[in-house]
Chains A and B, each alone.
Chain A
Amino acid sequence: DAKTTQPPSMDCAEGRAANLPCNHSTISGNEYVYWYRQIHSQGPQYIIHGLKNNETNEMASLIITEDRKSSTLILPHATLRDTAVYYCIAKTGANNLFFGTGTRLTVIP
């Protein structure tokens, strides 16, 4: 699976959009991009995934560049409950999730 690179930490003001970047320059054509987050003392929570097209659900939007070498997770109106470690993972269906170190997002009141 392709290696992903994320900034170690980010801050976001409450109520503003949080934009979390992820680089996956070696991603292959059949690898999806998945986003999970982990709030302290809980299991990882699935957020969204996509292959080529931008995706949106009730939690977030996923923007994937046309060359698929990077993506951005957007939380449109961050709340204090969105403070967590966010993981970007590239994988095929046959493989399992490889969690790196993620981005620690802190939402500031």
Chain B
Amino acid sequence: DAGVTQSPTHLIKTRGQQVTLRCSPKSGHDTVSWYQQALGQGPQFIFQYYEEEERQRGNFPDRFSGHQFPNYSSELNVNALLLGDSALYLCASSLATGAWGSNQPQHFGDGTRLSIL
């Protein structure tokens, strides 16, 4: 049973560029959340997708956007990259038991390490 998979594992970009990160949820999961983890910090919530719509959003600018596909996979897009966007980007999936979430645990992938030069 495949867990959460993310691609690519590492990525190097320059300031001003745009990037797309991809996530396939664990089999049977329908909800995808994205987190950003700067070096030495705990992960910070970016947004969550359920039924192909953004359901919740953390304190991140509009440069961060996402998408969820009918097969529940998801993309995170970041425009106009800044040096401060260098981080580990984590995807987590879970199973919603209602329109407003679930107490079922989120399961994480190993992330995409994004470096901005």
Known: A43-B110, A43-B111, A45-B108. A96 touches B45 (CB 8 A): yes
What is the 8 Å Cβ interface bit string for chain A, positions 18-59, against chain B (1 contact, 0 not)?
000000000000001010000001111110010100000000
Tell me, in angstroms, the Cα distance from A100 to B102 when the chains sit together.
21
Question: Contact between B43 and A34 (Cβ–Cβ < 8 Å)?
Answer: no
Question: Contact between A44 and B90 (Cβ–Cβ < 8 Å)?
Answer: yes
Whole-angstrom distance between the Cβ of A54 and the nearest chain B Cβ: 17
Band of interface residues on B: 20 to 34
8 Å CB interface, A83-109 against B: 87, 92-102
Could you tell me the dominant secondary structure of chain B's interface residues?
A: loop
For residue A96, which residue of chain B has the nearest CB?
Answer: B45
Point out which of A34, A46, A92 has the most chain B C-beta atoms below 10 A from its C-beta.
A46
8 Å CB interface, B24-83 against A: 33, 35, 41-45, 48, 56, 58
What is the 8 Å Cβ interface bit string for chain B, positions 96-113, against chain A (1 contact, 0 not)?
011011110111111100
| Total A residues in contact with B, Cβ cutoff 8 Å | 22
Question: Contact between B110 and A95 (Cβ–Cβ < 8 Å)?
Answer: no
Select B103's contact among A32, A100, A101, beta carbons within 8 Å: A32
Tell me, in angstroms, the Cα distance from A49 to B102 when the chains sit together.
13
Tell me, in angstroms, the Cα distance from A93 to B100 when the chains sit together.
7
Note all chain B residues with C-beta closer than 8 A to A43.
Answer: 4, 90, 92, 108-111
For residue A102, which residue of chain B has the nearest CB?
Answer: B42
Question: Contact between B101 and A46 (Cβ–Cβ < 8 Å)?
Answer: no
Note all chain B residues with C-beta closer than 8 A to A98.
Answer: 45
